[in-house]
Chain A
Amino acid sequence: MMPDSVRDKKKPSLGDLTRVRFTNLDKVMYPGVSVTKQEVITYYIRMAPRILPFLHNRPLTLHRYPNGVEGESFYEKDAPAGTPDYVGIYIHPDKNVDREIRYVMCNNLDTLIWLANLAALELHTTLSTSESYDSPDFLLFDIDPEPPLTFDDVIDVSLILREHLENAGIRSFAKTSGKKGLHVVVPLSGGHRFEDIRAFAHTMGKTIARDSPPVVAEFAHSRDPGTIFIDYLQNARGKTMAAPYSLRATPGATVSAPVSWDALRHGIRPEDFNIRTMLSGSEDPWRDIFDTRQTIRR
């Protein structure tokens, strides 16, 4: 055979694996837990098989933290200057700003890495895809506690909500918001209108609020102490939710983590799901979500 020096294969370099050019990798993003941007990028790379399906063809709102979670941050809807050509763009007029917005869509691994390199720690997606922007394919209940109520009370309410949905023959999926609350998501078949599912979610909230006193269904009461608000208002065109598996800008680098109803019944803590504990190889509590397409009638 050939001597080693002649046979020596060229080792693949980073540039062979991704088109993204990295910047400031050792910048600390989460000072409280000493997480650098390199770790953020590594997290998103490892989580890509899980998160990419939830980002596909969804216009993104980026929450960028160029100087880490303790620095200034900003929301970004428009694709920033210098957006590379492997990044998908969805152009949609925005009535609020009276012009077209060029949304970033994350349809490939490189885009996800590029976003992480931009310190877009939080990825927020619409509840509809660019293919049918006016028609949601997810319904979202956003359940948030007001002190002194805690996440444990949120779990109780979510289990009640789940029961109501099951009784109506509707399967739902839960994820931590990564902050104080819980998101309950219902995957929908095509053809729904935002106003219909918003009304459905509102009605559901009102039903639960009637039977369970700490629960409030109206925005006006959402900040009352000792309440739990079931927010239905995000079910609107262009509104967003933190994508499943998205990092959140919390001191502990928490993740908006899909969880099984069994796990919720046993009790969990949102901070247990963070950049260091999420494993892409673990069982996916949401693995059926794309095969579960449901119709909601008012």
Chain B
Amino acid sequence: MKTHGGTSLTPGRQSGDKTASGSPRSRAGKKVAGGQNREPDPATGTPGKKDQPLTVVIPESPSDDPVQKGSAGRPFWSGTITIGLVNVPVRLHTMVRDRSFSFRLLHREDGQPLRYDRVCTKDGRVVPWAETVKGYEVQKGRYVVFEPDELKAVMPESDRKIRIGKFVYYLSLDPTFFETPYILVPDRSEEAYSLLVTALSELGRAAVGTITLRTKEYPVVVHVYQGALVLTTLRHADEVTSPRAFEQLGTLPVPKDSELALAKRIINELSGDFSIADYPDRYQQAVMELVKKKIAGEKIVTEEQPHPEEAKELMQALQETIATLART
């Protein structure tokens, strides 16, 4: 952690409604709509008055080490893996964190954060929560209305069980359906956990079943990863588009032998070991760098991508000049 004395920063209020859409937590049903999220937002920092120096804490950017420990944190689910009559008690920890940051929308004039309100599309008035109800759009402008009780009745009940139906070879699983991985940690009985890890590992199998997280039931696979059980939620079949939907892909020409040989040679030449560290998130890094500079009071010079026409002229001039200079 680094602490900087801020100067030209906006003393905004603590972030209220960080919209972490797409994060595993929100997908798992975490309530975000009410604006009651208590997580401090590192981008706006602690609340402060305008004339007070503002202390801003910036989290260190994640290390480049892809196998870093990370913080274990609290489990967000605990229950049992149920295989027939055998139960393995486990706690579920998040494994991936959404490192992407969100900007807060501010009022340019006074730098204060803006709030989203529920506004009626007909009369433009703000509608209190108590006066809202959920609707499902069945055709443009027509909704089927649900009362909370009606939905609750059909929600799957979370019985704190990861129900395993069968075992499959892990490598036979189609990664297209993999959604979000969670780390399973033994809860009380380490023996049962260890037994399952060892058995799956030696057989090269993974367990397939279901889990209910909050309001949704997911197909899951439990497999061994770096000596631990990892549960990965799977997408439902109808959430994935098959390539067969594209007719063109069914009528591809057969490549010529010579071309195929050349293509294979190129692929072989470019073959190597995969390392995720080769692909850093440059945008995220660049923005965090800018944030640090802004806090340090540095003037930000915007680099730009020249317009294609400008770039073309510059490149032509450069190529000619570099050639001329090389001759002399």
A interface residue numbers (CB < 8 A to B): 1-3, 6, 12-14, 17-18, 21-26, 38, 41-42, 45-46, 48-49, 52, 109, 280
With beta carbons under 8 angstroms apart, the residue of B313, B322, B325 that contacts A42 is B313
CA distance A48 to B326 in the complex (A): 12
Which of the segments B90-98, B123-131, B197-205, B299-307 contacts the partner chain? B299-307
**Apart from A25-B310, A42-B314: 19 A-B pairs, beta carbons within 8 A:** A6-B263, A13-B311, A13-B315, A14-B306, A14-B315, A17-B322, A18-B318, A22-B303, A22-B304, A22-B306, A23-B303, A42-B317, A45-B318, A45-B321, A46-B317, A46-B321, A48-B324, A49-B321, A109-B322
Pick from B301, B303, B319, B328: contact of A17, CB under 8 Å: B319
Q: Which residues on the A side are within 8 Å of B313 (C-beta)?
A: 38, 42
Q: Pick the residue among A17, A26, A49, A280 that contacts B318 (CB under 8 A).
A: A17
**A17 / chain B contacts, CB cutoff of 8 Å:** 315, 318-319, 322
8 Å CB contact of A2 from B262, B304, B306, B324: B262
CB-CB < 8 A to B266: which residues of A? 6
Shortest beta-carbon distance, B323 to chain A, in Å? 10
Contact of B320 with A by CB under 8 A: yes
Of the listed residues A12, A24, A45, the one surrounded by the most CB atoms of chain B closer than 10 A to its CB is A45
Q: Chain B nearest CB: distance from A2 CB in Å?
A: 6
Contacts of A12 in B (CB 8 A): 315, 319
> What distance in Å separates the Cβ of A43 from its nearest Cβ neighbour in chain B?
9
- Verify B263–A23 contact, CB threshold 8 A: no
Chain B residues whose C-beta falls within 8 Å of the C-beta of A41 in the assembled complex: 314
Interface residues of B (CB under 8 A from A): 259, 262-263, 266, 301-304, 306-307, 310-311, 313-315, 317-322, 324-325, 328
* A48: B residues at CB distance < 8 A: 321, 324-325
Q: Are A25 and B315 in contact (CB under 8 A)?
A: no
- B140 CB, min distance to chain A CBs, angstroms: 41
Contact of B304 among A6, A13, A23 (CB under 8 A): A23
Q: Are the C-beta atoms of A14 and B321 separated by less than 8 Å?
A: no
Report if A38-B310 is in contact (Cβ < 8 Å); known contacts: A23-B301, A48-B325, A49-B325. yes
**Of A2, A21, A49, the contact of B303 (CB 8 Å cutoff):** A21
The 10 A-B residue pairs whose C-beta atoms are closest, nearest first, are A45-B317, A17-B318, A21-B303, A38-B310, A49-B324, A42-B317, A48-B321, A46-B317, A25-B310, A45-B321
Secondary structure of the B contact surface, majority rule: helix
**Which chain B residues border A23 with CB–CB below 8 Å?**
301-304
A17 to B318, CA, bound (A): 7
Cross-chain contact B310 with A45 (CB below 8 angstroms)? no
Q: How far is the CA of A3 from the CA of B266 in the complex (A)?
A: 13
Residue of A nearest to B262 (CB): A2
Residues of B within 8 A of A26 (CB): 307, 310
Please give, as numbers and ranges, the residues of chain A lying within 8 Å of B322 by CB-CB distance. Answer: 17, 109
B residues within 8 A CB of A24?
304
28 contacts between A and B (CB under 8 A): A1-B259, A2-B263, A6-B263, A12-B315, A13-B311, A13-B315, A14-B311, A14-B318, A18-B318, A21-B303, A22-B306, A23-B301, A23-B302, A23-B303, A24-B304, A25-B306, A25-B310, A26-B307, A38-B310, A45-B314, A45-B317, A45-B321, A49-B321, A49-B324, A49-B325, A52-B325, A109-B325, A280-B321
CB neighbours (8 Å) of A14 from chain B are 306, 311, 314-315, 318
C-alpha gap A138/B313 in the complex (Å): 35
Residues of B within 8 A of A13 (CB): 311, 315
Residues from chain B with Cβ under 8 Å of A52 in the complex = 325
Q: Which residue of B lies closest to A3 (CB)?
A: B259
Which B residues lie within 8 Å of A109 (CB)?
A: 318, 321-322, 325
Q: Which residue of B lies closest to A53 (CB)?
A: B328
Residues of B near A3 (CB, < 8 A) are: 259
Please name all residues of chain A whose beta carbon is closer than 8 Å to the beta carbon of B307 when the two chains form the complex: 25-26
Query: CA–CA, A42 to B306, complex, Å?
Result: 13
Q: Are B306 and A38 in contact (CB under 8 A)?
A: yes
Shortest distance from the beta carbon of A45 to any chain B beta carbon, whole Å: 4
Contacts of B328 on A, CB cut-off 8 Å? Answer: 49
Q: Which residue of A lies closest to B302 (CB)?
A: A23
B58 to chain A, nearest CB (A): 22
Inter-chain contacts of B304 with A (CB < 8 A): 22-25
Contacts of A1 in B (CB 8 A): 259
